[in-house]
Structure 1
Amino acid sequence: MKKLIFLFILLSICSFANSAFAKSIAVIVHAENPTETLTKKQLIDLYMGRYVAFSDKQDAQPLDTFTPENLRTLFYKRLVNMPLSRVNAYWSRVRFTGRATPPEIQQSEQAVLESVANNPSAIGYVFSESLTQQNKQGIKIIMELYE
């Protein structure tokens, strides 16, 4: 009986972890931003401070977010295949040299959606499932990141 309970708990944990990692992440910009798509390399360059503008030379303001579902951790794992601790260490070094500033941190996905909808230079990310018809107004999806 104990083995059966243990197996059930283990399967529950695995299915929860699997569902969290299976969520797609939508990279979003303002609806009037002329950028229609980015390559993964371009997105990496924007989020790692190598570039500060979109390909049309329009300023880019990357946004990060904190969520209970570890969206930021998943985003960087999928984008640069690095744990968040390494990304934070990278930004500590870059910030110290003064070469670039890290993405602005928003407190929620809703805050990212509002910032992007109100700022033509903003670029952010949210879980794709968080997008509804109502909160899609003023934004467009330019990329999706999958596991």
Structure 2
Amino acid sequence: MIKRILLAASLAVITQVSSAAVVMIGNPATADQLSKDQAEAIYLAKSKKLPGGMSVTVNELAAGNPLRTEFHQKVTGKSDAQLKSYWSRLVFTGKASAPSEHSSAVAMKAAVAATPGAVGYIDEADVDGSVVVLLKP
């Protein structure tokens, strides 16, 4: 009986976690909606400006974070290892500076909210008035 209760509770948690959706967020001064292609270009440093012309500041969660993995699977199509290699080349050749990394979605949201032109990604359930949703991949 206890095993069944634990199994049911575990399945409820898994279902709740898997129903969460990652969204790309921006500072409220960045009201532009983005296409998947525009988001990909921003996150791969192929575009350094938002569609409205504002310079973009890219924020990432730390490697291994499930939200980071989900976001990049949906937007850039790259794994953590591929991203590390990609960014190492860009930084080494001087073509770009690595994005700021944050240890949590809370820190990511705070950084985006505090910087005009900043973008990041968090769980859709964590969106509040301090940031705007730019893309639901």
Shared fold, TM over 0.5: yes
- In the aligned structure 2, how far is the partner of 1:64 from the partner of 1:124? 6
* Structure 2 residue 65 is matched with structure 1 residue 73: no
2:115 equivalent among 119, 123, 131: 119
- Structure 1's unaligned 5+ residue stretches are none
**Cα distance, 1:58 vs structure 2:** 0.6
- Structure 2's unaligned 5+ residue stretches are none
Residues 127 and 93 of structure 1: CA distance in aligned 2, closer, same or farther (over 3 Å): same
Residues 84 and 19 of structure 1: CA distance in aligned 2, closer, same or farther (over 3 Å): farther
Q: How many residues align?
A: 130
2:85 equivalent among 89, 93, 98: 89
Secondary structure in 1 aligned to 2:136? Answer: strand
Residues 58 and 106 of structure 1: CA distance in aligned 2, closer, same or farther (over 3 Å): same
Secondary structure in 2 aligned to 1:142? Answer: strand
What's 1:62 paired with?
Answer: 58
Q: 1:21-52 CA distances to partner (integer Å, 9 max, x unpaired)?
A: 543111111112241x1111110110101111
The TM-score normalised by the length of structure 1 is 0.76
- In the aligned structure 1, how far is the partner of 2:76 from the partner of 2:35? 13
Alpha-carbon contact 1:67-1:107 (below 8 Å) kept = no
Alpha-carbon contact 1:28-1:124 (below 8 Å) kept = yes
Residues 90 and 97 of structure 1: CA distance in aligned 2, closer, same or farther (over 3 Å): same
The TM-score normalised by the length of structure 2 is 0.82
Runs of 4 or more above 4 Å deviation: 18-22
- In the aligned structure 1, how far is the partner of 2:64 from the partner of 2:124? 15
